[in-house]
């Protein structure tokens, strides 16, 4: 999918359809953010989920938003309206949450921040749909049932598209991507901790290129 002008607002489904994988990124050092983002973009991965799990996460989002305009940086682990607001102020273009609450859904809607809400049960899918969300993160994908659960959901929720995250690796991503209700997967393998530590940007670009080339059903 060719990415539209990123000065315009993207829909959650467009974010999920841009590439087969959205990298789940945990950064401990702000100085690594820009080079890492450029390495991912060079490999064909532009939707970048920087998780709000470290004290420097917002600063990393801000740096990527300002210095890597060809990337679309989002905030992961958004758990509250305050998280959503802070992410938007830092320059995040989308948000990803580990679960779904009306508070987070409304906050992102009011901010104009596309949200990929996390779900793990049928009831949670229905709650997210009531909030207007049909492009959802399936989390934690492997512990919550993996491909078998997604196949079971395809009947009653055939209007929903998922981004399975949690336990997804280069080894099993193809199994998920082959499913008709999976738009992409989320995974941390594109940005390994040791590659960050050694600033091995060429390795990250290679991993991104391999991920960008994965087939989808």
Q: How far is CA 181 from CA 18, 27, 72, 186, 190, in A?
A: 15, 30, 23, 14, 23
Active site includes 49? yes
pLDDT tens readout for residues 117-164 = 999 999 999 999 999 999 999 999 999 999 999 999 999 999 999 999
Listed residue (48, 47, 57, 46) closest to 79, CA to CA = 57
Report field, pTM of the whole predicted structure over 0.85:
yes
Active site includes 137? yes
Which residue in 14, 70, 106, 137 is the catalytic one? 137
pLDDT tens for the 217 residues of the chain, in order: 444 444 468 999 999 999 999 999 999 999 999 999 999 999 999 999 999 999 999 999 999 999 999 999 999 999 999 999 999 999 999 999 999 999 999 999 999 999 999 999 999 999 999 999 999 999 999 999 999 999 999 999 999 999 999 999 999 999 999 999 999 999 999 999 999 999 999 999 999 999 999 999 8
Domains of the chain: 12-211 (3.20.20.70)
Which residue in 4, 49, 103, 106 is the catalytic one? 49
Residue 96: the pLDDT is: 98
**Contact predicate 36/204, CB 8 Å:** yes
The b/e string for 67-103 (b: 16+ C-beta within 10 A; e otherwise) is: ebeebbbbbbbbeebebbbbbbebebbbbbbbbbbee
């Amino acid at each position: 999918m060719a990415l539209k002008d990123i000065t315009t607002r993207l829909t959650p489904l467009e974010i999920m359809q841009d590439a087969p994988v959205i990298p789940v990124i945990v950064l401990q050092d702000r100085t690594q953010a820009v080079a890492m983002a450029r390495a991912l973009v060079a490999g064909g991965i532009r939707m970048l989920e920087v998780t709000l799990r470290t004290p420097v996460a917002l600063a990393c989002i801000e740096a990527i938003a300002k210095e890597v305009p060809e990337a679309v940086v989002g905030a992961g682990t958004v758990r509250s309206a305050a998280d959503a607001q802070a992410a938007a102020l830092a320059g995040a273009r989308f948000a990803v949450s580990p679960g779904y609450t009306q508070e987070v859904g409304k906050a992102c809607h009011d901010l104009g921040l596309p949200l990929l809400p996390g779900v793990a049960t049928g009831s949670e899918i229905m709650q997210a749909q009531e909030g207007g969300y049909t492009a959802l993160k399936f989390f934690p994908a492997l512990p919550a049932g993996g491909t078998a659960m997604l196949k079971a959901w395809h009947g009653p929720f055939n209007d929903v598209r998922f981004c399975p995250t949690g336990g997804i690796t280069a080894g099993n991503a193809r199994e998920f991507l082959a499913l008709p209700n999976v738009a992409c997967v989320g995974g941390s393998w594109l940005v390994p901790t040791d590659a960050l530590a050694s600033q091995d940007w060429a390795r990250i670009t290679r991993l991104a290129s391999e991920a960008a080339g994965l087939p989808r059903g």
